[in-house]
Structure 1
Amino acid sequence: MTTTNDNKPQDSLLGKPAAYADHYDASLLFPISRTPARGELGLGPVVPFFGADLWTAFELSWLTPRGKPQVAIAHITVPCETANIVESKSFKLYLGSFTNTRFESSDEVRDRIRADISEAVWRGAPSQSSVGVRLVMPDMFEREKTQELEGLSLDRLDIECTQYTPDASLLSAASDEKPVDEVLTSNLLKSNCLVTGQPDWGSVQIRYSGPQIDQGGLLRYIVSFRNHNEFHEQCVERMFMDIQARCKPVRLSVYARYTRRGGLDINPFRASHPCAMPGNARTARQ
């Protein structure tokens, strides 16, 4: 049975002392509606982008039926059309609750995570579907390679930066010149947690076709998030909407990879058109 979700970010356990449960407890998950933040961007129920939030969980462990600990890395894909995000500390506490719980197999663990996260992110929605979950077991850890974001680095530019809260007026494009196809990256993304104000460090990739975006202005715009308080997913959607509105690309995707906190990293991807999701390969800083 679907229930409504009236959770507010300030009601979560972010920034508050919390007891760590070590036996499975799905009730620890704290979904937060995407609607308020999207409303601030002028978005309604139908959003003008595709994509997903790509999570990587590095601290996952459980017991076999005989009590032997197992470890794995979990990759979770949450579609951007879900009704909610899951607050990250609650997700950490939820995964911690697996620690002294016995499961028959890694498949059971994967299926349980998929069912619980799916329920949380779709809570309050008229219809539901499943999130993607993939577990990487220790014998496959060597395949978890690091890979930097592809593209031309904006960080090479020697610019002056004075704006540290998001300012879309920094963005511009040469609409009277020949369109281009470009992939631009920066490692200078920083924002802050919406609730605690703790720093969130990241890298961002902008891939687009259309009028050439002024690179200096784009880098200043990315830097302007430095003192901004917003969740990762919301920052990327703000970037997408601002670039779309100010630069009017024909096609656009924005992909951010944030460094991990509490054994979790969150990597939102938004695109103007249906396309394959990025491979969720971590960067060196992750």
Structure 2
Amino acid sequence: MSDPTIYQGLTQLGGRTEQPQSPEQAVLERVPNPHPGTQYLVRFAAPEFTSLCPITGQPDFAHLVIDYVPGDWLVESKSLKLFLTSFRNHGAFHEACTVSIAKRLEAELSPQWIRIGGYWYPRGGIPIDVFYQSGEPPKGVWIPDQGVASYRGRG
């Protein structure tokens, strides 16, 4: 059983939380890594990520896969969900959304390694995939393929 005091500073877990109106307003919370010094991979998949085109205001859709090897901290998953959904009303190009998510997580968590795959659905008939990685993955950590196929349309 984990030490319940590690959750004392969290402000969003366990209750109703208002949806942040922008990524800048979203609060990413973290908890201590229960296995410091052990290298392992944490994966979050967000297959229904949405943001807005900054020019037209039309919605854009992506399947995001976030992988990281924790340092001293883990991201608290409810705060990550609220952070990701804060992009719903945020206008930014695919590249800006994908890379800014990775950089924000890097800043908050100081992971040993992080990567994000942004598999965006077609806009104007062209899918755009955006990938970010903080450097070489740590040796000895099993890092599976992200498992998202390139967009093939209907055939």
| TM-score, scaled to structure 1 | 0.40
Q: Contact between 2:50 and 2:87, CA under 8 Å: does it hold in 1?
A: yes
Going by fraction, where is helix more abundant, 1 or 2?
1
Which residue does the alignment assign to 2:60?
200
Gaps of 5+ in 2: 1-14, 138-144
Amino acid at match of 1:269: F
Which residue does the alignment assign to 1:228?
90
Gaps of 5+ in 1: 1-157
Amino acid at match of 1:199: P
| TM-score, scaled to structure 2 | 0.70
Match of 1:182 among 20, 27, 42: 42
Q: Contact between 1:191 and 1:229, CA under 8 Å: does it hold in 2?
A: yes
Cα gap change, 1:245/1:169 in structure 2, threshold over 3 Å: closer, same or farther?
Answer: farther
- CA distance in 2 between counterparts of 1:159 and 1:253 reads 30
What is the total number of aligned residue pairs between the two structures?
129
Which residue does the alignment assign to 1:171?
28
Amino acid at match of 1:177: P
Q: Stretches of 4+ moved more than 4 A in 1?
A: 158-161, 277-280, 283-286
Which residue does the alignment assign to 1:43?
none
* Aligned 1:1-286 pairs, distance under 5 A: 160=17, 162-167=19-24, 169-175=26-32, 177-179=34-36, 180-210=40-70, 211-274=73-136, 281-282=149-150
- CA distance in 1 between counterparts of 2:16 and 2:88 reads 16
Amino acid at match of 2:83: Y
Cα gap change, 1:238/1:214 in structure 2, threshold over 3 Å: closer, same or farther?
Answer: same
Please report the RMSD computed on the Cα atoms of aligned residues, expressed in angstroms.
3.0
Higher RCO by CA contacts (8 Å cutoff, separation 6 or greater): 2
- CA distance in 1 between counterparts of 2:115 and 2:78 reads 19
Cα gap change, 1:176/1:274 in structure 2, threshold over 3 Å: closer, same or farther?
Answer: closer
